[in-house]
Amino acid sequence: MSQSIEVEPLTPTIGAQINGVDLSQPLSEDRFQQIHDAWMQHLVLFFRNQKISPEQHLEFGRRFGALHIHPAAPYLHDNPELMKVHTDKNSHIQNGAGWHSDVSADEEPPLGSILHLHRVPPHGGDTLFANMYAAFDALSEPVQNLLIGLEAHHVSDYTNQYGDHKPQREFPKAVHPVVRTHPVTGRQALFVNVGFTKRIRGMSRMESDALLEMLFKHVTNPAFQCRFQWQPNSIAMWDNRCVQHLAIWDYYPETRSGIRVTVKGDRPFYSEQAV
Ligand code: SIN
């Protein structure tokens, strides 16, 4: 039996730093399970001082499932599973600068994302994460009842976002439940985000816009959030099924750079029953 990991929560609501793990070393099944359990409990995990190679990053990602390929983002080492995350003085946009759940416009949106930053600005470049179980739980019962059973259109458009890089595939679009049941925890999470969710099905444009505007505002409540300050070789891994995130671009003209490995997910569903 391997040693236990140390789980240090950042807030009572979301986020925990994991200590006592070196991801460049083989991970026993027991340790993997401890990390997985901590992830399900805290939604976003952070690791410090992880000097891992791209191969080790891929290997860690594959422990959670098959890897996802972003529709449009550039990649490194000729491998589309190694998504490039890079902003510098020549950038006109930063990836992930608005609240979103990664590629929620996919029919089967990514389960989770594992970001390893190699280079960070001297100050700034933090990432905010928000707990979508807490966002759902905080709504009044009449609003919860209105949302359950509704579906929304998620549409992606990466035009001009990644310069000259040719997209890997067509920009996806999909219809998903507004409230989704997490397949592991059985908890209900709000699943609309300003990055991709365009319209609620079966409502007039005015009704849909008003409801989405309210929800987009609601999910940004700081009470649902934690804020991560990166260091070189930090890793953050977030569960896209119950987390939204936003990367703050407050460090221009400095450079922030790393690699994201993303794990494929399942089609979102709503179930009244806890799984
Ligand atoms: C992203 O993967 O959405 C960006 C997150 C970040 O750069 O902090």
Report CA(116)–ligand 1 centroid distance (Å): 10
Q: How far apart are the C-alpha atoms of 155 and 199, rounded to whole Å? A: 9
Q: Counting every residue, how long is the chain?
A: 275
36 catalytic? Reply is no
DSSP 100: B
pLDDT of residue 249 exceeding 70, the answer is: yes
- What does the pLDDT look like over 57-79, one tens digit per residue? 999 999 999 999 999 999 999 99
For residue 274, tell me if it sits in a domain: no
Task: Kindly report the CATH number assigned to the domain that includes residue 216.
Answer: 3.60.130.10
For residue 262, what are the CA distances in angstroms to 64, 68, 101, 147, 258? 10, 5, 12, 28, 13
Least confident of 3-7, 26-30, 85-89, 108-112: 3-7
For residue 1, tell me if it sits in a domain: no
Q: Measuring from atom 6 of ligand 1, which residue has the nearest CA?
A: 247
Q: How far apart are the C-alpha atoms of 247 and 128, rounded to whole Å? A: 6
For residue 271, tell me if it sits in a domain: no
For residue 72, tell me if it sits in a domain: yes
For residue 189, tell me if it sits in a domain: yes
- Ligand 1 mutation target, pool 115, 118, 234, 262, most atoms within 8 A of CB: 115
Strand partners, 257: 86, 119
Its domain, for residue 227, covers 6-263
- Residue 35: other Cβ atoms inside 10 A: 21
Q: Which residue out of 42, 57, 70, 245 is catalytically annotated?
A: 245
For residue 272, tell me if it sits in a domain: no
Q: Measuring from atom 3 of ligand 1, which residue has the nearest CA?
A: 96
Q: Which residue out of 116, 241, 256, 260 is catalytically annotated?
A: 260
Q: Spell 225-247 as b/e; 16+ CB within 10 A means b.
A: bbebebeebbbbbbbbbbbbbbb
Which residues lie below 8 Å from residue 194, measured CB to CB, with a gap of 6+? 98, 99, 100, 216
- What does the pLDDT look like over 100-148, one tens digit per residue? 999 999 999 999 999 999 999 999 999 999 999 999 999 999 999 999 9
102 catalytic? Reply is yes
Domains contained in the chain, number: 1
For the whole prediction, is pTM greater than 0.85?
A: yes
- What does the pLDDT look like over 28-51, one tens digit per residue? 999 999 999 999 999 999 999 999
Residues having CB closer than 6 A to ligand 1 are 85, 95-96, 102, 113, 115, 127, 245, 247, 260
260 catalytic? Reply is yes
